[in-house]
């Protein structure tokens, strides 16, 4: 008799009291682990197609010629004198140029066969120097 | 009499506890809502290695106004998973530019070894479509990890 009357003391229900905690933990886990791919880069505004080509005085232009192997040559408008520079020097040179002439235009001319990263290296240095007026061109010889 | 006596003994019938039985349901509903409403960009990522730049900035623009233009080292251009011949890039971008209410921002995602002629062709095409707001996608380069160049 005693055996028959004995009831199991183990509860036959799944405990749901902590369900909310589990759910919130999952929610917070997903909220914090979701990373959105962020958009980053070097912004630049291209000249509009309808823009009329303006003649710019040569003394307001500084040319950065990017060669196929990544070497950079600076050619100043008037003198046509060429100067080979390292990437790390460009920022300083450009700051100097802007200080001397705020309306100076940095014309980056890249060799058609030069890898894109060389142009980005120059553009990076120019943007670090806060150059506003940048022109990107293909260097056709 | 009964009324008088009961006055002191009467207990508020409103429960003083916040009912937590439905908390799990609320949390799961939230979970499911976020899972369903998160839309991912339906675009296959192309495995390119982007150039690195120290001046890399975060671009604050609504995602739907950003168009990715991928340029493979071979010079192939991909927009929305479709290969676009170079001379048609402008025609493809123009309707997208109009759709975006002229706020289109183009993310130029070129591999670091793309010959520059292809980048130049793409920017010329974008100009013809009036999409003049572009940015060159780069990875942030810190001064410490800067490669020797």
So what's the pLDDT on residue B145?
Answer: 59
| Whether B78 contacts chain A with CB within 8 A | no
Residues of A in contact with B66 (CB under 8 A): 39
Q: Is residue A42 part of a domain?
A: no
Q: For the residues A116-139, what does the mean pLDDT come to? A: 90
The number of folded domains in chain A is: 1
In a domain, A111, yes or no: yes
- At residue A2, the pLDDT reads 54
Is 50 exceeded by the pLDDT of residue B1?
Answer: no
Higher pLDDT among residues A53 and A84, named by residue: A84
For the stretch B48-81, pLDDT in tens is 899 999 988 898 888 888 899 999 999 899 998 8
What's the 3-state SS for A87-138? HHHHHHHHHHHHHHCCCCEEEEEECCCCEHHHHHHHHHHHHHCCCCCEEEEE
Whether residue B120 and residue A112 make contact (CB cut-off 8 A), yes or no, is yes
Give the whole-angstrom CA distance, residue B98 versus residue B131.
9
pLDDT at residue B139 tops 70: yes
Q: Are the C-beta atoms of residues A58 and B149 closer than 8 Å to each other?
A: no
A34/B116 Cβ within 8 A: no
ipTM: 0.74
Domain that holds residue A63: 58-138
Structural domain of B92: 65-140
- Is the pTM of the predicted complex or chain greater than 0.95? no
CATH no. for residue B82? 3.30.420.270
d(CA A27, CA B133): 38
Tell me the CATH number at A88: 3.30.420.270
């Amino acid at each position: 008799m005693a055996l028959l009357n004995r009831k199991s003391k183990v509860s036959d229900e799944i405990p749901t009291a902590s369900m909310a905690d589990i759910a919130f933990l999952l929610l917070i886990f997903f909220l914090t682990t979701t990373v959105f791919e962020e958009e980053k880069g070097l912004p630049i505004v291209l000249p509009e197609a309808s823009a009329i080509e303006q003649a710019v005085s040569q003394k307001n232009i500084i040319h950065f010629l990017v060669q196929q192997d990544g070497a950079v040559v600076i050619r100043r408008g008037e003198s046509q004198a060429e100067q080979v520079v390292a990437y790390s020097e460009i920022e300083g040179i450009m700051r100097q140029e802007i200080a001397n002439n705020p309306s100076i235009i940095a014309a980056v001319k890249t060799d058609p066969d030069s890898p894109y990263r060389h142009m980005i290296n120059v553009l990076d240095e120019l943007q670090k120097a806060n150059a506003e007026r940048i022109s990107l061109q293909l260097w056709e010889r | 009499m009964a009324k008088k006596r009961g006055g002191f003994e009467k207990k508020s019938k409103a429960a003083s506890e916040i009912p937590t039985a439905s908390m799990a349901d609320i949390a799961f509903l939230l979970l499911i809502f976020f899972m369903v409403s998160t839309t991912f960009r339906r675009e296959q990522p192309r495995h390119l290695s982007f150039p690195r730049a120290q001046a890399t900035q975060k671009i604050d623009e609504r995602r739907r106004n950003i168009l990715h233009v991928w340029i493979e080292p071979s010079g192939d251009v991909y927009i929305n998973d479709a290969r676009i011949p170079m001379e048609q890039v402008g025609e493809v971008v123009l309707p997208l530019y109009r759709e975006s209410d002229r706020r289109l921002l183009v993310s130029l995602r070129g591999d670091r070894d793309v010959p520059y002629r292809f980048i130049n062709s793409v920017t010329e095409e974008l100009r013809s479509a009036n999409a003049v707001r572009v940015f060159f996608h780069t990875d942030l380069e810190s001064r410490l990890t800067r490669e020797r160049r």
